Amino acid sequence: MYQNWFLDYASYVILERAVPSIYDGLKPVQRRILHSMKELDDGRFNKVANIIGSTMQYHPHGDAAIGDAIVNLGQKELLIETQGNWGDIRTGDSAAAPRYIEARLSKFALEVVFNPKTTEWQLSYDGRKKEPINLPVKFPLLLSQGVEGIAVGLATKIMPHNVKELIKASIDVLKGKKVHLLPDFPTGGLADCSNYNSGLKGGKIRNRARIESPDNKTLLIKEIPYTCTTSSLIDSIIKANDQGKIKIKKVIDNTAKDVEIEIQLANGQSPDVTIAALYAFTDCEVSISPNACVIIDDKPVFIGVEDILKSDTDYTVKLLETELKIREGELQEKILFSSLEKIFIENRIYRDIEECETWEAVIETIDKGLTPFKPSFYREITEDDIVRLTEIKIKRISKYDTFKADELLKSLLEELEEVRHNLVHIIEYAIEYFQNLLKKYGKEHERLTELTTFDTILASKVAANNAKLYVNKKEGFIGFNLKKEEGVEEVMDCSDIDDIIVFRNTGEYVITKIGDKKFVGKNILHAEVYVKGDERKVYNAIYLDGATGITRVKRFQVPSFTRDKEYNVTKGSPKSKVTYFSSNPNGEAEVVGVSLSPNCSAKVKSFEYDFADLEIKGRGSQGNILTKYPVRRVTLKREGVSTLPAIDLWYDESVGLLNKDENGKYLGKFKDEDRIIIFYEDGEYELTNFEITNRYDAKKVVLIEKFLPYKAISAVHYDTNNRQYYIKRFHIETSTMNKRFKFINEANASRLLLVTTQMSPLVELTYTNGRKREKYQVNLKEFVEVKGWKALGNRIPHDRVTDAKLLSKDDAVDTTESTTKKEDDSSNDDHNDGHDSLRLF
């Protein structure tokens, strides 16, 4: 029984409950709900409880399941117009009870979903009613609404797509063009669909909340990821804060008509780093795995969204063709009867039947009168046609208007010709149908989700430092929960998800996960947090090779590792020992003093060694010979400078991140002392370092480049206090990092029109003079001299400036040249890839 019945049950769940049909995009319960609503439809709202009761005539399940399905349809705001409290997918609030809420079919549903003439019918489960096998949906409804269902042995998860884009894509399919569909979520947010894989199994979508930073102490979440609610999102933020992954003061839910979750940051926390941490440790970023599965010919099939669209488009064409054929038949019948009526009345055949004594004689007489005209009809005249003629009332015959009859017949013939033309040109007719849909409903369905490409956020780089790393060098313990006893030293702030690298004076080193208290080997020489893939971290070491007695020197990097595997700075010989060691974040090379044993035979027993003379090699290299004589001690003489080459950096404005992958705008070559300057649309500037983990608000950044102190900043701005437009030029006088400074008036109505770092920018200003728009050109360098960064500048002699446009650039030079150049140097023009200025109008 189990073997026989289980397959039947599994098939039933797949076909009749969980998985939608590819033709109308509906699960059976949804199809029955819409059919019931159509039966009840009179243009007015119906109680949902009444709709549930009507649907139960077709759906053999409880009212709760039907009610949930109606609410789900209503919240998608496409097929059903709602009235009352229908809940909120953003907050997770449930709808009111069915007796309190109402619904009716939308105009869109009435136009594209129903047509009894093209619907295939079947008996309901109890045989008392007829229900549609599939509704004749002339639109890719499955892709617009999305669907999720779990059956026996398989599941389906199809993402919702944008209605407007689907209509355009259907038109492209009909035109023979290739289409590429990407989802659009009702909750908005940001989505990285680079691995969407046409919605098939194995694909992945990364969906992020939209987070804004109105100031340095506050973050605002304006849109949330699909599948999340404001409540679940807040819970994940609180949990991350409790675990020390992020540091915040308070989370406030201000959601009303629009989503707004306010996050107040703890003192000293960077908004950019906190945003990255929210994406890494909370539900501000979720990963969604699509799995497109539909029913085709009573079988579940895994199929991509582009193939679903093509199938639905072809199905729409088929339905439109069927409708045209039905209309063609109806018109032919109308033309036929109109012609019969015209012949019957104008040829006075009705008078010939006055003398007939039997019904058979009447039929025969009329048939005889029609015989001369029968060759012109598209089919044979039947007895039913003749009977219809006998049913024409005398009043209609007496008032028969030949002219009106001819006009009616002419209009019917014209419509028949149009229908036949559309049948011959069915693809063009279908394209026009979709274009009409786009015109009527496209404006109501603009895209909500912004498509972009996300960077991969390393959790270790954005985790808040929620612990301190302690080490007991002698005993060999390390961790963030060591007792502060003798021999325990505080090393640095760290996160509880960090890796640490530990060097021992015998030369061994290991990389391991941090813990409360971990034994890593006695006689620890150096310990620090390890950053995987750090290409600028260089270790300098001098060690004694126990096998030969030779002292060697080496510089090496540790870019990758196997966790908890022991490596060795030395050659690994017994009695080897590290006599000098330094960790250098930017490849610094110091100078050390080497003192040899006074008893050795060396003539020079004290000398200096510069690590800059030594090449950086892999961690497995043995190094160069420093001396063959016994070394007494090694001491630091002079701090070193970086020996690593400058790195090339680019700024990717799509994600607001720096990179070394040549994505976006090239910023130049950067050395350790270099900085980046950022100008924002609100008239602020900020200096930052060039860490790859830096995050910038791409929508607010108007200019970003390598900071060169000799360059003057030119700006066109409006001062709201004086109600005038000004041009100013200034040098950056502040040196504080990661702090914004406003260089225009702080009043809200003040605004920045243009900012540039060109040496002699030529700008075209557009202003209104009465009703006329006029333009004039101004060289900003000649218009105003360089003043302090807080200065107002010189007033523009025109009111109502509407536009500021940069017309030309000076000759370019390499931005990597020394920043000690003076502004009066004729060769200090800069090169910024054409992006060294920005218009805001």
Active site residue ranges: 100
> Is the CB of residue 52 less than 8 Å from the CB of residue 63?
yes
Residue 540's alpha-carbon distances to 352, 516, 543, 548, 585, in angstroms, are 122, 29, 10, 21, 11
Residue 343's alpha-carbon distances to 338, 447, 543, in angstroms, are 9, 59, 119
Of 69, 143, 72, 78, nearest in space to 316 by CA: 143
Tell me the three state secondary structure of residue 159. Answer: coil
Residue 81's alpha-carbon distances to 38, 98, 146, 396, in angstroms, are 13, 15, 18, 45
The gap from C-alpha 119 to its chain's centroid, in whole angstroms, comes to 39
The gap from C-alpha 417 to its chain's centroid, in whole angstroms, comes to 49
SS3 sequence of 420-485: HHHHHCHHHHHHHHHHHHHHHHHHHCCCCCEECCCCCCCHHHHCCCCEEEEEECCCCEEECCCCCC
Tell me the three state secondary structure of residue 145. Answer: helix
The gap from C-alpha 326 to its chain's centroid, in whole angstroms, comes to 45
Tell me the three state secondary structure of residue 569. Answer: coil
> Is the CB of residue 237 less than 8 Å from the CB of residue 263?
yes
Report DSSP letters for 812-829, one per residue. Answer: P--TTS-TT--TT-TT--
> Is the CB of residue 139 less than 8 Å from the CB of residue 147?
no
> Is the CB of residue 616 less than 8 Å from the CB of residue 556?
yes
> Is the CB of residue 499 less than 8 Å from the CB of residue 511?
yes
Q: Which two tokens stand for residue 437?
A: 């849909």
Identify any residues that bridge with 455 across adjacent strands, giving them in sequence order: none
Pairing of strands 508-513, 566-568: antiparallel
Residues 6+ apart with CB under 8 A from 564: 510, 511, 512
> Is the CB of residue 785 less than 8 Å from the CB of residue 792?
no
Residue 785: DSSP 8-state = -
The identity of residue 737, as a single letter, is: M
Residues 6+ apart with CB under 8 A from 98: 47, 48, 49, 52, 63, 67, 70
